[in-house]
Structure 1
Amino acid sequence: MSEELKHRTSHIINIKSPSISIPNTPKDTDSIVLVSPSTIVHASFDYSVHEKEDKNNENNKSNKTEEDKYELTTKSESESEITSPNDELWNLEYNDKPINYIVGKLIGQGSYGKVYYGINQDNNQIMAIKQVDIKNKMMVDSLSAEINLLRDLNHENIVLYYGCEFKKTFNVFLEYVSGGSVASMLIRFGKFGESLAKSLTSQILSGLEYLHQKKIIHRDIKGANILVDEDGIAKISDFGISKKNIYENAYKKQTRMSLKGTVYWMAPEVVNGKGYSAKVDIWSVGCCVLEMLTGTHPWINFNDVQPVLYKLCTRNRPELPESLGSVARDFIDKSLSIDPEVRPTASELLKHQFVVEQDEDFNYHDYYDEAVAKENEEVLKEEAENEKNLDDDWIDDVDDIDDYFDESAMDDDSMIGKDNYLDEE
């Protein structure tokens, strides 16, 4: 292994399945270690190399860089227990108007908490209520960052924030999106046609363009975090690991950035430990389009994240299937450019042929109705097949029962003198 590769992979230690742990981080590292390869990876980066470079730079020697103001917390600080609603999180002045609400059925749940259906009793507005059981400061930091970002956002393709409160759990009130996520739709209906993929991609990019103009890097764009309402409107959700770039231009690389995101949708520069910009979201968009058109996550040939991380460290990208159309392939090719400087911005991708040339005859309601009808047909077919298999099994059982009877015992001579209902008086 080359020295350069050793350097790029040195911050990934003791990768295990099904979880990732990164222990024994050096004293001069930023440590945020939360473990979940199937969802989000948080890791630590060794910044000693950057510090040595800074020492050789006279300009940085006398003055702290702008990024020094944004240093990450250490693991010990992040995992300190939160025991009282009077601690840091609850003292934040959100100035949110109290919401009088009713909690309904469970919609979904994850590693951080649960999401419930809810209704605002004052205006009958339907909401999604995200309930989080606060356990440590890391969760406080994550929620605080998410709320502080969400409360200033207002875009059709981003989930709206209504407010928050603390009772027994920390509750965040969000826009309810009835259609579920892109990921759940793929599980239910299978891969998307190009018309639907184009429509959703255009909307995702529109939301990202808005975020990037506000210097926000989402860092976890994937099918599971793109919600779709009953009219086919896409909404970017889950800002738990999002971050504001310290520079005015979101596409300017920020050196001190932690390894966060979902591995299968993660850009190579996130893994290499030398910093990154909002271009990581563009890579994730390319992976998301690949996900929609194939029905599976990128890197489908790898069931474990360890080889995927190695591939990313060595500047590789997911293979593209031959079945992709030429325009879709070109869009994904550009989005998955290894060099982030070459990778387009969200605004530039909105001008790509794959996005511009929308199917004029496409209607989301018709597409959805046809998908549901096909799903129902498959369910009925499966039920009929199961019923047939049950009937066949029953017939086989009857045949087996016959084997227990000795036909020779049933002849006339053998029945003479026996007490049976066929004997005549």
Structure 2
Amino acid sequence: MGELWKALHFLCSMEFWRMGVLWTISIVMSYLQLLMRRLFSPSSSPCCSCSPPKTNCIRPVCVITGATSGLGAAAAFELSSKGFYVVLAGRSPHLLLKMVVIIAWQTMEDIKSRNKDAHLKALQVDMSSSQSILKFRNSLQEWLCDSDLHSSIQLLINNAGILATSSRLTTEGYDQMLATNYIGAFSLTTLLLPLLQNSPVPSRIVNVTSFTHRYVFDVKVDKEAVSGKYFLRSKQYPCARIYECSKLCLLLFSYELHRQLGMMDKPHCISVVAADPGLAETNIMREVPSYISRAAFMVLKCVGLLQSSNKAVRSILDAALAPPEISGVYFFGGNGRTINSSSLSHNTRLAAELWKTSFDLFMESQLPLDETFTSDDKPCIIPGNTKVRLHMQ
């Protein structure tokens, strides 16, 4: 009875109707873009996939966050079969820090049952915690040094994401959904830039975003908003709006990083792309009342909008395996196809402001640059103008 009452209460909320109506319109708009391109731009060819980068028989390393289930696990299997050494990065449940190792191990066993040549490593990380992200970076670096692999990574996929229906704060005082979906991705990318930079072949960052960003028409990017404190003033937790904003921030960050990397002496030695898997049948809706999530999945499956993880992962794989010169684009729909994200996501002034705010939050998270980079590393962010600087060895 309690579950039914919870479902009815959620059914009467604005968040349900925003998710049920506006999000459906958003995904339909994305598919309409694909159709329009096919009808009116038949000459535009999709991005073709290429083999993982290799040099001197060095096995490329791929880091995937949120890799213990759903899209992350599907991407891990596919990329391991392509020859990547896949690092599975997963978040531990509350008070069960060791559980993620068990889950990751199970995922690894599942992958190896289908691909006996898979090379996998499981490392724990909570993307909503700056300290956990730093510990992950240190563990990754230590593992690379102790292995026979090159001290670099070739692919980072920021896939971790949650859809929280209630307000929860991190230890830093951030909204957990914004911290996991965006702030964590910004921090991890910042910390791993030296390893991406050190790659002897072109490396890539793939940020997994969502069509839901299309219904954000105005957004604040000051510290109050990016940390989530601004949204907590509402009487009811605006879960749908926060999720949309987190995915828009991830896009703004992607395009800004792409622009900054393009201004380097050797542009796009690190490429940055966004991937939108569309509507996938994963456990991201686990906090939505089960009556509603099951009914929603049934309806979406009937109208052909819901995909399995194995099908939805195609846009992520397209982004990961696109030629090195491809950067600053938005993959959607599989088969190497790209579309345009919202006009707001291309606002360069907004992106620059978001970059500065994100960098300030990064510096306030007790992760000063002199502690987050070893003496042999070259800082990838310059304090003051917060621009990326790459030093090619």
| TM-score for both structures, normalised by structure 1 | 0.23
For the pair shown, the structure with the greater C-alpha radius of gyration is: 1
Q: Which has the higher contact order (CA 8 A, sep 6+)?
A: 2
| TM-score for both structures, normalised by structure 2 | 0.25
